Amino acid sequence: MRTATVAVMAAAFGAAFARPAPARDFHCPAAGTIVTTSTGTSMAWQEAESGHPHICRAAYGPGRPGYWAFALVPSDNLVTAMQDEANLAHYMPLTPDKAFTFDVTRLYEGAMRRFVGSVVVLPAERELAGVRRPVSVVHISAVGGAPLSDDGRVTTASVRLIVDRSTNALLGIDIDPTGPLSGLPTVHWSALSITAP
């Protein structure tokens, strides 16, 4: 994932999630959980960051983010991951049939920017290797990106995440630009298989 993709996902997801949830309501995918994706790259989940049980570590190809707040929001550094962790905690857990709106200011591309949008979580099933798995499909619509100093750039995206309910591992990401996006590419991948310890 390019830096712009990571930033917009973080802005959309980090902005989107805000009611503190105890650690018992969430667990990172177990260390050793591996998701093979349609891009040919595997996402290998590692242990949660020490002292931050909601920040999950994952190896996902060279130069890709290693920190994932609540296994959803990518970041390439711990400081930003901690910001995302704080934002996400307000809306966790993301139970099926949950819906909410957000309006937040978040650091993106070196400036504080405002993002508004909506999140809808729907229950579904996903078949992998002949096994049907319960998943949550998280739909995010985000508009924003104009910095507080207002340089006129706006980020707009439609995002869909597929989350395995038993492991909390991502099984799919779709990001579709829906407006002028400061270079954000379209991203689509889905899981071909998942193995968990």
Span 21-42, pLDDT tens digits: 444 578 999 999 999 999 988 9
pLDDT band for 63, please (50, 70, 90 cuts): low
CATH number belonging to domain 3-195: 2.40.360
Reported as a pLDDT band with limits 50, 70 and 90, residue 15 is very low
| E strand residue ranges, 29-95 | 34-37, 42-49, 52-59, 67-69, 73-75
**Average pLDDT of span 166-170:** 94
Q: Where are the chain's structural domains? A: 3-195
Q: Tell me which range, 13-22, 23-32, 105-114, is most confidently predicted by mean pLDDT.
A: 23-32
**Are 104 and 115 a contacting pair, CB within 8 Å?**
yes
Residue 55: name the closest of 78, 34, 76 by CA.
78
How would residue 151 be classed by pLDDT, with cut points 50, 70 and 90? Answer: low
| Predicted structure pTM score | 0.80
Q: What strands, in cross-sheet order, belong to the sheet with 42-49?
A: 73-75, 67-69, 52-59, 42-49, 34-37, 187-195, 170-177, 155-164, 131-147, 111-128, 99-108
